[in-house]
Chains A and B, each alone.
Chain A
Amino acid sequence: MNIKDLPEESLFTPGHTACAGCPAPAIVRNMMKIFGKDTIVYTPANCLLVFSGTYPYLAWRVPYLHEAFENTAACISGVARAYRKKGKKTLVVGIAGDGGTYDIGIQALSGAAERNEDVIYVCYDNEAYMNTGIQRSGATPYGAATTTTPAGRKIAGKLEHKKDMAEIMRAHEVPYVATLSISHPKDFLEKVEKAKETEGFRYLHVLSPCPTGWRFDPAKSIEIARKAVDSGMWTLYEAEYGEITNIYKPKKKIPVEEYIKGQGRFRHFTPEMIAELQKWVDRKWKRLYGELPES
């Protein structure tokens, strides 16, 4: 599966009100091309909900429903069971932000994964609560400035590192867990396809650079996603029943310094802060790949 195999017909219309350059609409539009028409989508409060559905207007051409922040995974569990009971194969998908996944929705998510509900859960991760104006979440990386972790003189940005949500989901030993980046289309599409074909609980986690919240030029959204992968800030892999089955290794690992360049949320970084972030990347890299690259 590659870009050219995707159908022309879209299930997500233009006219939505996402910020110019926000990659989230391209993420969901291209996912929907694979999920297909027989899909129902649930979303809690977040940017996606607000820019694609301002009642009574909707960018979706499939049933699209809003539920509360805490219960995305619980809602889709129930809906999927109802469909199965009726003998229907309808794909049931929940799409939540990082706030709705890492923090607020994690209890329902963990429960649904443990029960191996027949659903796809997608986290689009823009590394903060963007819809309410850039508050830090468990997904916000170390040092990033948000409105609740401002770059002050004494404390500069978020003190803690990003939580590894995909690893938490892998530890649930569900049929399928994958991390994706829109900057790697073939890898992205193959994982979405694999998720569609798999039965049981599937978790897709996609990085969604946010020009407004990360403060960068909207033209660079895809470039920044690519740099996130190349630097190891974001890692692409697949896991089945807890075992990593496929892992993407960047040809050349770039230093985090190159990734954070051009992002206003990291502008206050000192050499010490860069070193701290690099250490985190290297630790993660070693854990996943078994060794550090030369570089």
Chain B
Amino acid sequence: MYEIRFHGRGGQGGRMAAEAYALAAFLEGSYAVSFPFFGAERRGAPVRAFTRVDDKKIRIKTQVYEPDYVVVLDETLIETEDVLEGLKEDGMVIINTAKKPEEVRLSKPVKCATVDATSIALEILGRPITNTAILGAIAKATGRVSIDSIEKAIIEKFGARLGKEAGEKNAKAARVAYEKTLVGVAQGGKAFVPRKKWLPTVEEMPIGGATPAMETDAGLVGIGSFIENKTGDWRTFMPIIDKEKCIGCKFCWFYCPEGCISMEDGKASVDYDYCKGCGICANECPVNAIEMKREVRT
């Protein structure tokens, strides 16, 4: 048996990728299961999904804790969490990034495959949806299933949902990714400080759970404490404001779901720590002073 853990963000289709991979393995005569992590995760928030493949029936129903392969659909995730957690000794990580494997830094040196699935998806599908392209990379990097089966699985799964043409385009994205995948070894040495949890004793726990703003050893909790949660890494596109054009109408300030636009000297300014890149500000600006640009992260 081998196990795969997919790391993505809500809405990126990690769950569909896990399912389509299972289908590809099934088409080759294996037993396969896949399922997402259950939680109240929103589009853009970090999410996980799992696939198990075996040549006999699979009875185990738990999440995957010690994967053979880790697949990362969203590059920003390798900055904020240790995606290698629990990865087997000779395991491998497959990452959607424009970098070469040798340029990637993780918690330890590890076999690594990379592919710029976002660019491939933008080019072929016109949308930064990378869950099909990445499947081609898995096929190439692991050699566990053939790219032909991956294509078949994509056409069956995505075609049924989105129509034949979309199914074929997605299969093509996987094929292109398959051809462009690089395999190598990533660097290690990146340190992760796990986010501390607030674990109050019964005495410390406020009555009824009603929590005022409190500084704890896990940071601020209670009233107003979400301010410590930086949602800027959810972004794929970033709004750039042309201050010359901005007439200070404040529409973007009013509409921004994050409340992360402020007015400086009568002009709008974005706090990128929180901006999720939804594009509402650019869509609503009456003088087109805001442009959404593909974010390049270094």
Binding site for B on A (CB under 8 A): 3-4, 6, 8, 10, 12-26, 29-30, 47, 50-52, 54-65, 131, 182, 185, 211-212, 217-223
Chain B interface residue count, Cβ-Cβ cutoff 8 angstroms? 49
- In the complex with contacts A25-B259, A58-B211, A212-B43, A20-B277 CB distance below 8 A: yes
CA distance A22 to B259 in the complex (A): 12
CA distance A56 to B219 in the complex (A): 11
Q: Provide the residues of chain A in CB contact with B257, threshold 8 Å.
A: 18, 20-26, 221
Q: At the interface, yes or no: B221 with Cβ under 8 Å from chain A? A: yes
Q: Most chain-A Cβ atoms within 10 A of its Cβ — which of B225, B228, B230? A: B225
Candidates A17, A62, A182; contact of B231 at CB < 8 Å: A17
Tally inter-chain residue pairs, CB-CB below 8 A.
142
Q: Provide the residues of chain A in CB contact with B11, threshold 8 Å.
A: 19-20, 212
Q: Are A217 and B226 in contact (CB under 8 A)?
A: no
> B101 to chain A: closest CB distance in Å?
30
- In the complex with contacts A19-B44, A58-B226, A185-B254 CB distance below 8 A: yes
> A289 to chain B: closest CB distance in Å?
27
Q: Are A222 and B280 in contact (CB under 8 A)?
A: yes
CA distance A221 to B279 in the complex (A): 10
CA distance A191 to B101 in the complex (A): 56
- Give the residue name and chain of the A residue nearest to B205 (CB): A56
Q: At the interface, yes or no: B222 with Cβ under 8 Å from chain A? A: yes
Q: Are B259 and A218 in contact (CB under 8 A)?
A: no
CA distance A23 to B283 in the complex (A): 13
Q: Are A17 and B280 in contact (CB under 8 A)?
A: no
> B294 to chain A: closest CB distance in Å?
14
- In the complex with contacts A8-B262, A26-B259, A57-B225 CB distance below 8 A: yes
Q: Provide the residues of chain B in CB contact with A14, threshold 8 Å.
A: 226-227, 231, 258-260, 271, 273-274
Candidates B223, B226, B278; contact of A16 at CB < 8 Å: B226
Q: At the interface, yes or no: B134 with Cβ under 8 Å from chain A? A: no
> A192 to chain B: closest CB distance in Å?
13
CA distance A282 to B284 in the complex (A): 28
Candidates B211, B234, B250; contact of A56 at CB < 8 Å: B211
Q: Are B256 and A26 in contact (CB under 8 A)?
A: yes
Q: Most chain-B Cβ atoms within 10 A of its Cβ — which of A4, A10, A47, A219? A: A219
